[in-house]
Amino acid sequence: VSLVQSSVHYLCCKILQIIQMRCTCAKSVKYATNITDFKVIERRSGCDKPELVVTVAVGNNSTELCLSPDGKLAKAFFRCWENRNKNETRKHECIDRKKKPEK
C-alpha cells in the first residue's frame, strides 16, 4: 500500500468519522514495528474509547495503522503520552522508548 493510498484512505475514514460521529479505527492490530510517529485520539461522543494511530515505516514509504487500545503496546504509548502531559514536542520520547537497540 502506497503512502498516498494510505493517506487518502485515512482522510476518507476521518471525514466519515466526523460526519457519522464514529470511531476513526474500524480495524486495529495489537502490535507494530518501525513506528515513526503516533497520534492519540481521545474519547469523544460516538466513540467511547481512546484510539492510537501509529505511522509505520515500510521500506521507503510509511503507512498509518490503528493499534488496539487493549494491547500492551498501545497501553504503553497511552501511559507515556499521559506522563508527558500530552506534549507534542515530547512525542519522540514515547517512540524512542519502544525501539529496541540494534546489535
Number of domains observed in the structure of the chain:
1
pLDDT digits (tens, 9 = 90+) for 2-61: 666 666 666 666 665 555 567 888 899 999 999 999 999 998 888 888 999 999 998 899
CA angle 88, 61, 79 (to 5 degrees): 30
Range of the domain at 40: 3-98
Amino acid at 82: E
Please give the backbone phi and psi of residue 18, each rounded to the nearest 5 degrees, phi first. Answer: -65, -45
Question: Which CATH number is 90's domain given?
Answer: 2.40.50.40
Contact in structure between 55 and 64 (CB atoms under 8 Å): yes
Q: Quick one: DSSP state of residue 102?
A: P
pLDDT digits (tens, 9 = 90+) for 51-94: 999 999 988 999 999 999 999 999 999 999 999 988 988 988 99
pTM over 0.75: no
In a domain, 103, yes or no: no
Residues with Cβ within 8 Å of 59's Cβ and at least 6 positions away in sequence, in order, are none
pLDDT at 22: 78
C-alpha to C-alpha distance for 52 and 77, rounded to whole angstroms: 8
pLDDT at 3: 62
In a domain, 29, yes or no: yes
In a domain, 79, yes or no: yes
